[in-house]
C-alpha cells in the first residue's frame, strides 16, 4: 500500500457531569491531534500507553470489518491530553483509532459503528460520544454493542474551569471503590438529578445546576481517593461557579461558570488543591461545539 497518514483531531471530554454517571458528557475546547501512519513496513512495538490504545482500536476496527489490518501502523500525538486525569484521554485514543482505521478502509462504517468500537473498549460511552460528536451528549449502552445517544444544548456565556491535579486516578481503581448495588433512595436521587441537569441546560436554568450535580453514586465514594475533592467544589462555587464535579473518574475537577467567573474559579480550585498539600494546574476553556474530524494525506515517494 501507499504510505498514508490519517490525522484525527479529537476533543478532550468531561464525563458524568455530577449525577449522570456513565451517561452524560461534554466536549472541551481542548483538542488532541493524532496522526496515524499506515504503511507496509513493519514497526517495532511501542511502549507508549496512548499509542497502544490507538493501535488496539485500529485492530478492533479491522476485526469488525473482517479485514487484515495494515502491517505498519504508528500513531503520533501533537497535543497530549494527560492519561488518568478524567479528561477523556483514553476515549481520544480509541475514537482516533476507530476513525483512522475506518478512513484507511474506505469508510465502510458509519459514525455510530465507530462510536460503538470506541465505547466498547472504554466500557461506557460518556467520553467517547462527546469526543466523536462534540457538545453535550447523553449516551447509553443498549447492549450488543449498540450505543444510543442524543445531544443537548447549553446557554451562551458559560465557560469551563478545569483543575488538573498532578496525581492521576486510574479509572479501573476509581470504579473498584463503587458498590455493586445501590439503595432505592440513592437511585431516585441520581436519576432525578441527571435528568434535571439536561433539562436545566436546555432551559438555560443555570441556577439549577448546583442541585443537578449532587451525586450519590460515585463522587462520595471517590472522595476517599481524593479527600479535598468536595472542598475544591466548594471553592469553585464560592468564586461564583454554577456547579462543580469530578471530571469522569478524576482526578480533574470541572466547574461550569459564568464567563467572568471562570478564571477566579480556576484559580480558587488550584489554591484549595495546594492548601491540601497537592499540586496541579488550572485552565479555562469552553464547551466545544465540534467533535472529531478526520483528514487523510497520501505520502508520495519519488
User: Which residues here bind ligand HSE, judged by CB under 6 A?
Assistant: 15-16, 21-22, 124, 126-127, 171, 174-175, 218, 248-249
Smallest gap, in angstroms, from Cβ of residue 35 to ligand HSE?
25
Smallest gap, in angstroms, from Cβ of residue 100 to ligand HSE?
21
3-state secondary structure of 191: helix
25 - beta bridge partners? Answer: 15, 137
Pick 102 or 127: Cβ nearer ligand HSE = 127
Its sign, for the CA torsion 24, 27, 30, 35, is positive
Sheet strands (E) in 20-143: 24-39, 72-77, 136-141
By the 10 Å C-beta count (0-12 exposed, 13-18 middle, 19+ buried), 141 is classed as middle
Pick 103 or 122: Cβ nearer ligand HSE = 122
Angle between helices 89-104 and 49-64 (to 10 degrees): 40
Pick 24 or 268: Cβ nearer ligand HSE = 24
Smallest gap, in angstroms, from Cβ of residue 39 to ligand HSE?
32
For residues 112 and 71, the answer to whether their CB atoms sit within 8 Å is: no
Pick 14 or 102: Cβ nearer ligand HSE = 14
Smallest gap, in angstroms, from Cβ of residue 127 to ligand HSE?
6
Query: Which grid cell sits at 297?
Result: 494525506
Q: Which of 102, 105, 30, 87 is nearest to 254 (CA)?
A: 87
Smallest gap, in angstroms, from Cβ of residue 196 to ligand HSE?
18
Pick 150 or 299: Cβ nearer ligand HSE = 150
Smallest gap, in angstroms, from Cβ of residue 86 to ligand HSE?
7
Block residue for cell numbers 475514537: 95
Pick 13 or 159: Cβ nearer ligand HSE = 13
Amino acid at each position: 500500500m501507499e504510505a498514508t497518514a490519517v490525522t484525527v483531531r479529537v476533543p478532550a471530554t468531561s464525563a458524568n457531569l455530577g449525577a449522570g454517571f456513565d451517561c452524560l458528557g461534554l466536549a472541551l475546547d481542548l483538542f488532541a491531534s493524532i496522526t496515524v501512519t499506515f504503511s507496509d513496513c513493519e514497526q517495532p512495538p511501542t511502549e507508549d500507553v496512548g499509542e497502544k490504545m490507538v493501535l488496539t482500536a485500529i485492530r478492533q476496527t479491522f476485526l469488525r470489518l473482517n479485514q487484515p489490518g495494515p502491517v505498519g501502523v504508528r500513531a503520533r500525538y501533537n497535543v497530549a491530553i494527560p492519561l488518568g486525569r478524567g479528561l477523556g484521554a483514553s476515549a481520544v485514543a480509541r475514537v482516533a483509532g476507530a476513525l483512522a482505521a475506518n478512513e484507511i478502509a474506505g469508510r465502510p462504517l458509519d459514525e455510530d459503528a465507530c462510536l460503538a468500537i470506541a465505547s466498547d473498549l472504554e466500557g461506557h460511552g460518556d467520553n467517547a460520544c462527546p469526543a466523536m460528536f462534540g457538545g453535550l451528549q447523553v449516551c447509553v449502552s443498549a447492549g450488543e454493542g449498540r450505543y444510543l445517544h442524543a445531544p443537548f444544548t447549553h446557554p451562551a456565556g458559560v465557560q469551563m474551569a478545569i483543575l488538573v491535579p498532578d496525581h492521576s486516578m486510574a479509572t479501573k481503581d476509581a470504579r473498584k471503590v463503587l458498590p455493586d448495588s445501590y439503595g432505592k433512595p440513592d437511585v431516585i436521587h441520581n436519576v432525578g438529578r441527571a435528568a434535571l441537569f439536561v433539562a436545566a441546560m436546555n432551559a438555560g436554568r443555570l441556577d439549577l445546576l448546583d442541585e443537578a450535580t449532587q451525586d450519590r453514586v460515585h463522587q462520595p465514594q471517590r472522595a476517599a481517593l481524593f479527600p479535598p475533592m468536595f472542598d475544591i467544589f466548594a471553592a469553585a462555587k464560592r468564586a461564583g461557579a454554577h456547579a462543580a464535579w469530578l471530571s469522569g473518574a478524576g482526578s480533574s475537577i470541572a466547574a461550569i461558570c459564568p464567563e467572568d467567573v471562570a478564571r477566579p474559579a480556576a484559580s480558587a480550585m488550584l489554591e484549595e488543591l495546594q492548601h491540601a498539600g497537592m499540586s496541579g494546574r488550572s485552565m479555562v476553556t469552553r464547551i466545544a461545539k465540534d467533535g472529531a474530524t478526520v483528514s487523510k494525506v497520501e505520502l508520495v515517494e519519488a
